[in-house]
Chains A and B, each alone.
Chain A
């Protein structure tokens, strides 16, 4: 066909006819379009490479002294004499902190509200509907600033609400009493957490064993006993001393109110947390509602026929089945919550984005810094996805 095209092409006299002939040919047309496209791709590639070569892609400046203070530090003890890397990590930890607490609370809120939306009780049903429609349809940034302004309405620290000296409520923070310990306390908490996981694994193994073998023991008792033993041994091994820590407000010699003791919920953290939990909670509510409604009605009716009460019906029949279709969209919401936490830059909560902006303003190198931010968020998101995929795998396997 190309040769016949060539002879035909030669025989035509006017250029217009020649072009016309060429473009009517399918093979030529495809070749021509791809050729043009390829040229532009090549140009684009060279343009990007050329730009990239002109940029300094260095992270060297992150090792120099930070020079700025942070209002919130958690776990790591950052001060302005540390490197910018430390400042950045303090920001990353602040992001992880608000995201983790937010994910847990939003899930609890979402499940309860989702069940409430299906409740036959008029009041509960309408409260849940109102919550979803009101919160879901306003921008998150506005809500964060709104909560910040609401928390500013709390009394000044000189007139703080103390509730009998047990806690302090002021616009500088909400302080609650906790049990504090000596310096090994955080290590002990970690051991307790590991002990809990170990005893839970032990419990499920024992149950499996019991199904196959004789009924000689109670897995619940044994696993609980294991946990208690781990807790007591590590308690004495680390020589832990526990004491109640009640928040106090003192005035120093210059007249500044100093808060100490207890667990402090700062207004900035609280505003971001409230907004993220309430906002993400609405979407989780709808996911839970949708998943439950997608179950065949016969499941509920069968459970009722068996004589299960409402609590048993939900926890034994409805939720385990609904969970399969809840988990995948729930992952999306967890990812959204984590990414949305970057909006806290508006109200002085030093998350990783805000700290990065400060570093960029002091040192420049905006592009490598943004690459670092993107990689950090990507890592956080992938970790969440991984965990949720593992959970999803477990949930879909049960009873399948």
Chain B
């Protein structure tokens, strides 16, 4: 009887294991599985799993009440509003820089919006698809104002703190080793021990994207001198286009994410904001605006682009989250990252924020 029970238990476990393996296959999608459709999975599940940063003021941070907020977080909300009609239906997964691609590739998150730089090897080797960049950044170097450093060249022999598994780690080495400047990298997995080391002046420099440095500088504790004690060197070490990414061969979700971002940029260009979107939808000013908002122009047909979601998805996005400029102003202007004259201005103002036509 005991033997019988034992075999029964073993076979039960093997059944469960196979079932678990099969169900895993249906929800997650390996990069080689062309038939996967994460968009349908999200609709069935009713929530969007979004991989985010939880420790970068302005981009992704946990608010005192436990909710997530920031520039990247708002794009998660916008995608949820477009697919599910409700910007609150997002399940946030905080990820470290070094764990983020594994989390996306394994299906733990549907979309990764975590100040991630678009590079060729990440696009191809790591099996990701990058959508339109939401923020054009560049790598910078932050030092103590009283250290006397004014350029990378002057940092000969310095120790530099950097996050592990980032493009910045490689750009840093390209810049220093490439120019024959000796340096020591201190590579941390998370930001907290890195900041502790920087505050104790164990490292002379702190390098990451300039937006990230602005965020860390703004939040630098007064006990260590506050923001005034630090300067970000003028030199930009690299191009860092940041944007959302999905898994390879996940075209339906990829297109939705891509065009939600473009829609928010186009809405800003067309002057549609969260406050006037209802009136604009009721009475669109021109056919282009009607196509963007998914309404008929002067009683005409509604043009459905066939994204697999409601044609008026941009109305939900704009009403619940806002256009690109609103999101930028809400989160990044307080950090001192002004848009005027930067790459993040609208193309009409000489920047790179440019949406292809909704047609």
Complex alpha-carbon distance, A79 and B184, angstroms: 11
Q: Are the C-beta atoms of B17 and A44 separated by less than 8 Å? A: yes
Interface residues of B in 6-34 (CB under 8 A from A): 7-8, 10-11, 14-15, 17-18, 21-22, 30, 32
Residue among A67, A361, A366 making CB contact with B174, cutoff 8 Å: A67
Residues of B91-130 whose CB lies within 8 A of A = 97-98, 101-102, 105, 121, 125-127
A96 within 8 A of B: no
B14 touches which of A40, A172, A254, A267 (Cβ 8 Å): A40
Query: Which residue of chain A has its CB nearest to the CB of B11?
Result: A37
Chain A CB within 8 A of B238 CB = no
Q: How far is the CB of A398 from chain B (nearest CB, A)?
A: 44
Tell me which residues across on chain B come within 8 A of A171, comparing CB atoms.
200-202
Q: Does B86 contact A (CB under 8 A)?
A: no
Please measure, in the bound complex, the distance between the C-alpha atom of A171 and the C-alpha atom of B176, giving whole angstroms: 23
Proximity bits, B166-186, A CB within 8 Å = 1, else 0: 100110111011000001111
Is B193 at the interface (CB under 8 A from chain A)?
yes
Binds A, one of B156-164, B260-268, B295-303: B156-164
> Could you tell me if B177 and A348 are in contact, using CB atoms closer than 8 angstroms?
no
Within 8 A of B (CB), among A1-53: 29-30, 33-34, 36-37, 40-41, 43-44, 47, 51
Chain B: interface residue total (CB-CB under 8 A): 57
Cα(A348)–Cα(B194), bound, Å: 9
In the assembled complex, A194 has its CB within 8 A of some CB on chain B: no
Q: Which of B177, B190, B202 counts the most A-chain CB atoms under 10 A from its CB?
A: B202
Q: Is the CB of A364 within 8 A of B125?
A: yes
Contact between chains at A47 and B21 (CB < 8 Å): yes
Query: Complex Cα distance A148/B197, Å?
Result: 9
**Complex contact A40–B15 (CB within 8 A):** yes
Q: Binary interface profile of A, 332-375, with partner B (CB < 8 Å = 1, else 0)?
A: 00000000000001111010001001101111111000000000
- Contact bitstring B124-152, A, C-beta under 8 A = 1, else 0: 01110000000000000000000111000
Contact between chains at B200 and A152 (CB < 8 Å): yes
Which residues on the A side are within 8 Å of B304 (C-beta)? Answer: none
Is B173 in contact with A69, judged by CB distance below 8 angstroms? yes
Q: Could you tell me how many residues of chain A have their Cβ less than 8 Å away from some Cβ of chain B?
A: 53
Measured between alpha carbons, how far is A350 from B105 in the docked complex, in Å? 25
* Smallest Cβ-Cβ distance to A29: which chain B residue: B4
Least distance between A309 CB and chain B CB atoms (Å): 49
Which of B17, B21, B154, B185 contacts A68, CB < 8 Å? B185
Given A37-B7, A67-B170, A255-B147, A346–B18 Cβ distance below 8 Å?
no
By the criterion CB–CB under 8 Å, are A149 and B121 in contact?
A: no
Interface membership of B80, Cβ < 8 A: no
The answer to the question of A137 belonging to the interface, with a C-beta cut-off of 8 Å to chain B, is: no
User: What's the nearest-Cβ distance from chain B to residue A292, in Å?
Assistant: 40
Question: Is B69 part of the contact surface with A, judged by Cβ < 8 Å?
Answer: no
> Quick check: is B325 within 8 A (CB to CB) of the other chain?
no
- In the docked arrangement, what's the CA distance between A361 and B101, Å? 8
A70 within 8 A of B: yes
Interface residues of A (CB under 8 A from B): 29-30, 33-34, 36-37, 40-41, 43-44, 47, 51, 54, 61, 67-71, 79-81, 145, 148-149, 152-153, 156-157, 171-172, 252, 254-256, 258, 267-268, 345-348, 350, 354, 357-358, 360-366
Give me the interface of B with A, judged by CB distance under 8 Å.
Answer: 4, 7-8, 10-11, 14-15, 17-18, 21-22, 30, 32, 97-98, 101-102, 105, 121, 125-127, 147-149, 154-159, 164-166, 169-170, 172-174, 176-177, 183-190, 193-194, 196-197, 200-202, 204
Beyond A44-B17, A47-B21, A354-B187, 19 additional pairs, beta carbon < 8 A: A37-B7, A54-B32, A68-B173, A81-B177, A148-B193, A254-B156, A254-B157, A258-B157, A348-B186, A354-B189, A357-B189, A358-B169, A360-B165, A361-B97, A361-B101, A362-B170, A363-B125, A364-B125, A366-B105
| 20 pairs, CB–CB < 8 Å, chain A vs chain B | A40-B18, A44-B14, A61-B125, A68-B169, A68-B170, A69-B173, A145-B193, A152-B196, A156-B200, A171-B202, A256-B155, A267-B202, A346-B190, A347-B193, A348-B188, A357-B98, A358-B164, A362-B170, A364-B127, A366-B102
Q: Which 5 A-B pairs have the closest CB atoms?
A: A361-B165, A152-B200, A254-B154, A40-B14, A37-B11
